[in-house]
């Protein structure tokens, strides 16, 4: 049985937080909202609890988890040798959507790091997450609360669709603010390398610590096993139009309509008079896309189209992270500009 409990995201009820915290302390699983996406939490120093996360999500064992902390003292319980650059990033961006890969302490449950000598840590910016971690009095390991390979959840209903019956509790704090996952930055390489782009962009990081690399090579990405697996994907075939004129978008949608129902997600208004055409129009900014893209993919997927056509945005600033997720979700990429 999975309990779903609604909470005021600004002033969550202490009794509810305490109930959720006691589940965590006893080795159970609680899903909770962060500012990015919902996480599926377990006590990070408890190996059997962490093991349950992998089972519930059907997550490959070689994909490590992010540990969430609520204080500097908690960070010191999971990571050692924190560099001056890491300190500066923490001062600037925590709590917030930046995950730092650091040297791990041996007390962290081994499955959290999936055999690596490092641990990924962040301090989330949502009140519910921070109060839950404080009340549990333990760092909380939490991947996104979706079934492995599906789009990340941005509402409690998304979590329930994937994990209902498989976890103990879902704290429902409404839709998450940002909508895509945190930036993952490897602080154990020199210069530090972005393993997963996120809301904190490369230029923002450079402004605080100087040179930052974008990891692209196989060897670098070996350090972030998660990036190898199929990701963020609905069941339908996703076709990404990276740069498309309105004409190209129309044409691609019409072509796929010959095979069956077609979903469309984009900022260009596309109208096709066909009951099997399901358009979802988003605002044009990276923030609009980040906030709604996973919900849109899930909504269309429930209608069972043969294909979902997605119009891309410019891969600059926060758009880098949005386009990273769309490219991973897509099985085909098209461009005409």
Q: Which does 116 bind (CB under 5 to 8 A by kind): Mg ion, ligand TXA, none?
A: ligand TXA
d(CA 178, CA 207): 22
By CB under 6 A, tell whether 184 contacts ligand TXA: yes
d(CA 131, CA 125): 10
- Sheet arrangement for strand 262-266: 277-281, 262-266, 307-311, 237-243, 332-335
For Mg ion, give the closer residue by CB, 261 or 297.
297
Per this entry, what is the length of the chain?
Answer: 337
Report in angstroms the alpha-carbon separations of 165 from 73, 140, 181, 302. 34, 21, 24, 20
Q: Which does 184 bind (CB under 5 to 8 A by kind): Mg ion, ligand TXA, none?
A: ligand TXA
For Mg ion, give the closer residue by CB, 138 or 144.
144
d(CA 110, CA 112): 5
> CA angle, 200 as apex, 197 and 206 as ends, to 5°?
95
By CB under 6 A, tell whether 195 contacts ligand TXA: yes
Report, in Å, the least distance between residue 83 CB and ligand TXA: 16
By CB under 6 A, tell whether 121 contacts ligand TXA: no
Contact (Cβ atoms closer than 8 angstroms) between residue 40 and residue 206: no
Q: Which does 231 bind (CB under 5 to 8 A by kind): Mg ion, ligand TXA, none?
A: none
By CB under 6 A, tell whether 31 contacts ligand TXA: no
Strands 277-281 and 118-122, sheet pairing: unpaired
Site for Mg ion in 140-159 (CB under 5 A): 144
Q: Choose one: 142-150, 238-246, 249-257, 263-271; the region binding ligand TXA (CB under 6 A).
A: 142-150
Which tokens in the block code for residue 217?
């090579």
Return residues touching ligand TXA (CB under 6 A): 34, 36-37, 39, 63-66, 97, 99, 101, 113, 116, 118-120, 124, 142-144, 181-182, 184, 195-196, 223-227
């Amino acid at each position: 049985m999975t309990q779903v409990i609604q909470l005021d995201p600004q002033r969550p009820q202490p009794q509810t937080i305490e109930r959720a915290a006691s589940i965590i302390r006893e080795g159970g699983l609680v899903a909770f909202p962060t500012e990015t996406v919902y996480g599926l939490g377990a006590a990070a120093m408890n190996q059997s609890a962490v093991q349950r996360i992998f089972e519930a999500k059907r997550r490959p064992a070689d994909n490590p988890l992010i540990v969430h902390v609520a204080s500097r003292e908690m960070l010191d319980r999971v990571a050692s040798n924190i560099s001056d650059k890491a300190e500066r990033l923490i001062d600037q961006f925590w709590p917030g959507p930046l995950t730092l890969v650091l040297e791990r302490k041996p007390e962290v449950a081994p499955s959290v790091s999936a055999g690596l000598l490092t641990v990924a840590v962040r301090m989330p910016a949502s009140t519910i997450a921070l109060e839950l971690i404080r009340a549990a009095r333990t760092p909380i390991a939490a991947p996104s609360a979706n079934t492995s390979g599906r789009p990340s959840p941005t509402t409690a209903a998304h979590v329930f669709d994937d994990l209902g019956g498989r976890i103990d509790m879902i704290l429902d704090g409404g839709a998450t603010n940002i909508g895509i996952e945190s930036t993952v930055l490897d602080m154990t390489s020199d210069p530090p390398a972005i393993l997963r782009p996120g809301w904190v962009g490369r230029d923002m990081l450079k402004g605080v610590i100087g040179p930052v690399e974008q990891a692209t090579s196989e060897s670098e990405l070996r350090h972030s096993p998660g990036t190898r697996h199929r990701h963020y994907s609905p069941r339908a075939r996703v076709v990404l139009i990276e740069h498309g004129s309105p004409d190209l978008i129309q044409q691609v949608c019409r072509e796929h309509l010959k095979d069956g129902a077609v979903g469309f997600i984009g900022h260009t208004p596309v109208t096709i008079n066909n009951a099997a055409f399901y358009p979802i129009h988003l605002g044009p900014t990276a923030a609009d896309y980040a906030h709604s893209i996973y919900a849109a993919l899930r909504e269309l997927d429930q209608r069972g189209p043969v294909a979902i056509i997605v119009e891309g945005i410019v891969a600059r600033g926060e758009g880098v992270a949005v386009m990273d997720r769309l490219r991973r979700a897509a099985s085909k990429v098209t461009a005409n500009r």
